[in-house]
Amino acid sequence: MKTNDGQNQVQSLLEKKYQNGFLSRGEKVIPVLLFLMAAVSVVTTIGIVLTLIVETFTFFKQISIAEFLTKKDWYPFSKTDASYGVLPLLVGTLKITLIASITAVPIGLAVAIYLSEYASERVRKLMKPILEVLAGVPTIVYGFFALTFVTPLLRAIFPSLEMFNAVSPGIVVGMMIIPMIVSLSEDALSSVPDSVRQGALALGATKWEMTWRVAFPAALSGIMASIVLAISRAIGETMIVSIAGGSTPTASLDLTTSLQTMTSYIVQVSTGDAGFGTTIYYSIYAVGFTLFLFTLAMNMLAQRISRRFREEY
């Protein structure tokens, strides 16, 4: 029945087409229109890059690039002795990213291996929605969870931990990126042909040996790409760190004290009352540009790794 309907539709369209010839003009306009829509995403990228470059340039007219890159203090709010060395923000981002990776990579890979190599179809059907929900929880919710649950819990165990610290938001950022690692790594694992798995099992390999020596190495580049992407997401994560990480820019590697990341600095300025046109206002673009470069580099790296992966089969 369905195909019949489709045919009738097409036929009635045909008649219409013969009756008024303007449709053929539409045929020429529409591709142009659609191309313009596709161009929006390119324009968006150009817009992002242009915005960041122009405003960062304005910032560097007031603060030298050398100061931004080499000074070791970030005190933009100081009335008398403002200092714009980005290092503390980089260290803050690094600390969060590191803790997040340490949390998420082992757990994410373990779940991915469990789902692709060990779990029965039923368990897989049960786990998939759980991961989807975890991936769909807004980061503001994770931030709330970090501040009101994970931090008090950790402080009960380690009393020396400050109210704002790197560990709690780091762990929670890790939780947030677990679903991403699982889903992309599992895709990589399941693209390893089953016949190769059977070859290993037929030689008397246990499932673990088959996974560790055959499936995992074969999927390695896809898995690496998933980790790089997840780390890139951790670098750009904003709300969890803003809520639970504090706002003290510090180059110290201490994980127990309040810190500030590139993203949480942008939030701090945005929620404060630094007026349009001030040095502080432009500084968020310089920081945003730095952040953008980092995540862009990570994403291109991930694409390069996974392209190599696709060539293998």
Q: Within 108-127, which residues bind other proteins (CB under 8 A)?
A: 110-111, 113-115, 118-121, 123, 127
Among 166, 173, 178, 225, binds other proteins (CB under 8 A): 178
Q: Which is nearer to other proteins, 54 or 66 (CB)?
A: 54
Whole-number Cα distances in Å, 280 to 57, 75, 78, 247, 275: 13, 10, 11, 15, 8
Q: Which of 121, 206, 124 is nearest to 214 (CA)?
A: 206
Please name which of 230, 237, 236, 213 lies closest in space to residue 305, comparing C-alpha atoms: 230
Any contact of residue 30 with other proteins (CB under 8 A)? yes
Cβ atoms of residues 92 and 250 within 8 Å: yes
Among 128, 207, 257, 279, which residue sits at the site for other proteins (rule: CB under 8 A)? 207
Spell out the residues 6+ positions from residue 290 whose beta carbon is closer than 8 angstroms to its own: 86, 89, 90, 262
> Within 180-199, which residues bind other proteins (CB under 8 A)?
182, 192-193, 195-196, 198-199
Q: Under the criterion CB under 8 A, does residue 34 sit at the interface with other proteins?
A: yes
Shortest Cβ 218–other proteins spacing (Å) = 5
Q: Using CA atoms, how far apart are residues 286 and 104, in angstroms rounded to an integer?
A: 29
Nearer residue to other proteins within complex by CB, 102 or 137: 137
- DSSP tag of 204: T
Contacts of other proteins in 237-266 (CB under 8 A) = 237-239, 242-243, 263, 266
84 membership: H or E segment, kind and range: strand 83-84
What is the rounded distance in angstroms from the CA atom of residue 185 to the CA atom of residue 113?
8
Closest to other proteins by CB, 9 or 278: 9
User: Which phi and psi angles does 73 have, rounded to 5°?
Assistant: -125, 145
Record the tokens describing residue 13, joined without a space: 């369209």
Q: What is the rounded distance in angstroms from the CA atom of residue 90 to the CA atom of residue 74?
A: 11
Q: Name which of residues 72 to 91 contact other proteins (CB under 8 A).
A: none
Q: Which stretch binds other proteins (CB under 8 A): 31-39, 61-69, 77-85, 252-260?
A: 31-39
The only residue of 7, 64, 70, 278 in contact with other proteins, by rule CB under 8 A: 7
By beta-carbon proximity to other proteins, the closer residue of 65 and 133 is 133
Q: How far is the CB of 161 from other proteins (least distance, A)?
A: 18
Q: How far is the CB of 278 from other proteins (least distance, A)?
A: 14
Query: Which CB atom, from 85 or from 246, has the smaller least distance to other proteins?
Result: 246
201 binds other proteins (CB under 8 A): yes
Length of the chain: 313
To the nearest 10°, report the CA torsion of 148, 161, 101, 261.
80
Choice from 97, 151, 168, 232 touching other proteins (CB under 8 A): 232
DSSP H or E segment with residue 155? helix 151-157
Binding mask 128-167 for other proteins (x = CB under 8 A): --xxxxx-xxxxxx-xxx-xxx------------------
What track of x and - describes contact with other proteins for positions 283 through 312 (by CB under 8 A)? -xx--x--xx--xx-xxx-xx--------x
- Spatial distance between the Cα atoms of 131 and 233, rounded to a whole number of angstroms: 17
**CB of 254 or CB of 312, closer to other proteins:** 312
Looking up tokens 């790794």, which residue turns up? 305
Select from 4-12, 69-77, 83-91, 249-257 the region that touches other proteins (CB under 8 A).
4-12
